[in-house]
Amino acid sequence: MGSCRGSNSARVRQFNERAILMQLRRQRTASKRELADATNLTPQAVVGIVEDLLRRKLVRKEGRRVGGIGPPSLTYGINPAGAYSISTKAENGGNPQKCLLERQRHG
């Protein structure tokens, strides 16, 4: 049982990253606060994940949203040059096989 320690934290982080990326895909742009509200993640978790996604160039700063209380919020969106994915479905004698290929671009 001790050998499984910590294995879930990486999966949880991956799940949370996907939740943020999916939300950005739906909304096109969102502030960190909007992402926290939409994904039910803590603001601190969203800040860390968005900063990591920025560093990996999977998301980018889009602009500022004016309105509401306080200074304008930075908004973020998916970086179209950050990653690519291709999905195919092949039939093998009536037995569908799915394949998802992902290529992440750095630099």
Q: What tens digit of pLDDT does each residue of 48-57 get? A: 999 999 999 9
Using pLDDT thresholds of 50, 70 and 90, give the confidence band for residue 10: confident
Question: Rounded CA gap, 75 and 59, in Å?
Answer: 10
Q: What's the count of helices (H) and strands (E) in the chain, helices before strands? A: 3, 4
pTM for this predicted structure = 0.72
What pLDDT sits at residue 8?
87
Do the Cβ atoms of 58 and 39 come closer than 8 Å? no
- Residue 21: the pLDDT is 95
SS3 106: coil
β-pair partners for 40: none
d(CA 103, CA 107): 13
Which is more confidently placed, 64 or 96?
Answer: 64
